[in-house]
Structure 1
């Protein structure tokens, strides 16, 4: 008599995660599971921030392209121009010498970028890698300088420029911000996070301090240097109060001051103002587009040591 063996239950293949539980299959960049409604909330918040950030610029761009026959105050507002035109930009050039003002702003911004990149890199390297008496006190001074409002020292700055004979000059516009305390601290933190072993190896090979700075330290912080360049350019290009105080010759006005003349006492054409605004913002967009790769890399420099 044959004995029939009882068949054992077969081993079942493990079910996928979506079948085992009710957890969502969506994950974020860190590998954490994200529910559907959480993802919707995230994208809704991102779209809201995008609208608040980019919306005013797009509205100014739309207004600058609208012709004189279009109503810019219509309700509901019309975002897209019916007949796009560049006539408003030519009117800006006919109303004020906008390209001369833009050239003055470019000179000031370029000088500010060069002085900040050179001065802040040297100062940051000295504070981070060199040993000298008073190094901590100097770092504290730079830190405290970032807390001082510009408005509280602007009279002292103007008096200093007048005593030096630099008022009503573009050099007087550049000089007070040629080395920013914030940029010095950014470069210091970037240099602090470089491995000491590489620089010590160069020191053993006979490299002096200038060679270690130029060939080893500086190429390793290109991202932070790009951040400093962007901050310096934006600060000099967008500055309005200090050039307004130190300059009184219309031929030396920067673009931010010159665009103020588009506002008339008895007439105020918003199309003209919008076109001038786009002209002023365009160089910043081009600069950031060219340096964005280094900018995002520079934001991360100093966050991870080694």
Structure 2
């Protein structure tokens, strides 16, 4: 059985990081700064004491300041210690961790991507052009950072692969309206594209909120031929409807003429009348009648 990428990888999992409120540590930094100023004022009276106070204040101030970081709403930071993942902080505002812990910011906001137009062969082998619009976001920061090399590039590649897969699964159009098609079933195809993308991006801790096709057309090399085919199909369908209507009108006319005894027609004259009515009803141009001033049989 073929294994998926997610099955082959040892998955990471996001967990909450141990971090501190940055505003409390900011008070400590201000206190260290004040101590340093106080030590500077003591330098003349007691140089050794003042120097010691300044040294301690500088060390404490630097230790505190290096650990600060700030998060906006819908931002997260992954914290590592010597290459080991220690958790993710999603709390907005001023935050603080120990200075030797490394921090990597990433956005968990919704991202909108419109893919490039790509050429795909549909189910019947016809070349078509397709492009998709996808709204995605990171749900697991650990997977996004540590299970794929570049999660944004990974998303773009998987969008193209999913569009090719869906495009080759269905025909572009079905003139008999008996099959699911790319052009005629937008909602269903869009739902399948979303499901395909969610399955492909699961390994990167990414989900898809919305997707759909922004461009769907025959490739230029067959577009004219397919347009003529569509036009021919439309003409045939229109003619079929016209003939069905004309036959019904002729049947109704003959039935009412016979029912009301307006005129009696033999088989030959009935056939001639049917022919004339069909020509009038199905013709592309207005009929030019010939007035018979004699008898019916002249």
Structure ranking higher in strand proportion: 2
- Structure number with larger C-alpha Rg: 2
TM-score normalised according to structure 2 size: 0.19
Greater RCO between the two (CA within 8 Å, min separation 6)? 1
